[in-house]
Amino acid sequence: MCINCTISSNSTTTSNTSCNNVASQRESILTNQVSSSFTEVVDVVVPPPEKKNSGDEVDVALTALAMLPVKVRRLSLACKSWDVHPRFSELCPTKLISLAALSNLTSLDLEGNLISKGGASYLAALSNLTSLDLSCNNTGEGGASYLAALSNLTSLDLSCNNTGEGGASYLAALSNLTSLDLSCNNTGEGGASYLAALSNLTSLNVGDNNIGDAGAAHLAVVSNLTFLNVYGNNIGECGAAHLAVLSKLTSLDLCNNHIGDVGAAHLAALSNLIYLDLERNNIGVGGAAHLAALSKLTSLDLRGNNIGPGAAARLEWVIELIY
């Protein structure tokens, strides 16, 4: 069962007493709305605030949820509507202490709430979590240090959090991870070296981290990967050679690197690839010819290269070919 806990903001009062009364009323409404339904495992989705810079709606929801019987398994407090809410919801990090009462949580989505390192510290108590989305939360290296305690995690999204190389070192302790998104985190080559310890990973996104060829060499030991995104990482032909040993890959995004024709030749060894993005990689006619060996491809992006119509004709069997 999924419950959407919508809390409306009708208050235009100015006195502190009136504001507190309204908040109390809204908390009571939410509690009454869902408490009677908590006889079985449920999903709870709390929408983002209805207006800019208003985090108290989400704060009220957290307080109310903490008073419910401990039955919640999956909780979403994500703020995803960037076009309507261009700023984060400004969820007060200390309010997250209320989540400690929800000890049965297995899935938590806090995308776009700017909880910071302080907020991440409260999440460390949620030992049953298997899935956590903290994308765009400014948790930093310190936040990653707290998350390392969540040993049951199998899926973690920490994209756009500035975790750096140090943060990646903490995450290496999460040995049960099968899916990890660390895109846009300034991890560098050093961070990639720590991720090599995560041998159970099947899906990894480290786009825009400047890992370079040396970082690609570290990732090459994560042999169970089927999905890999390394867009915008200053990877050249040597890096492509390293990645070519990942024989289980079915999806590879190398957009905005510089592997060239030689790098494309190396990738031809990845016979299980279904999806390949090589946009803007200095690939010419020769490189495109090598890619024709990838007989399982259904989607290939070669925009921003110089393959020409002749080479494209050799790839016309690809269902979705963009060049």
- Rounded Cα distance, 304 and 278, in Å: 9
- 190 token code pair: 């050093």
As beta bridge partners, residue 277 has 253, 301
* pLDDT value for 86: 38
What would the DSSP string read from start to end of 52-94? TT--HHHHHHHHHHHTS-S-EEEEE-----TTT--S-----GG
Higher pLDDT, 7 or 218: 218
Q: Does domain 235-323 have CATH number 3.40.720.10?
A: no
- CA nearest to 322, candidates 297, 295, 306, 300: 300
How confident is the model at residue 172, as a pLDDT?
Answer: 98
What pLDDT digit, counting tens, does each position of 208-230 carry?
A: 999 999 999 999 999 999 999 99
CATH 3.80.10.10 in the chain is located at 235-323
pLDDT of residue 90: 59
Give the predicted TM-score (pTM) of the model. Answer: 0.85
> Who's near 207: CB < 8 A, 6+ residues apart?
183, 184, 229, 230, 231, 232, 233, 253
Q: CA dist 23 to 12, 125, 215, Å?
A: 12, 27, 50
Highest CATH level, class, for 1-138: alpha beta
Mean pLDDT of 63-84: 70
Contact 106, 131 (CB under 8 A): yes
- Which range, 22-31, 88-97, 271-280, has the best average confidence (pLDDT)? 271-280
Could you give the CA distance from residue 8 to residue 139 in angstroms, rounded to a whole number? 29
User: Which residue carries 């040396």 as its tokens?
Assistant: 214
Q: By CB neighbour count within 10 A (0-12 exposed, 13-18 middle, 19+ buried), where does 12 fall? A: exposed
Average pLDDT for residues 222-240, to the nearest whole number?
98
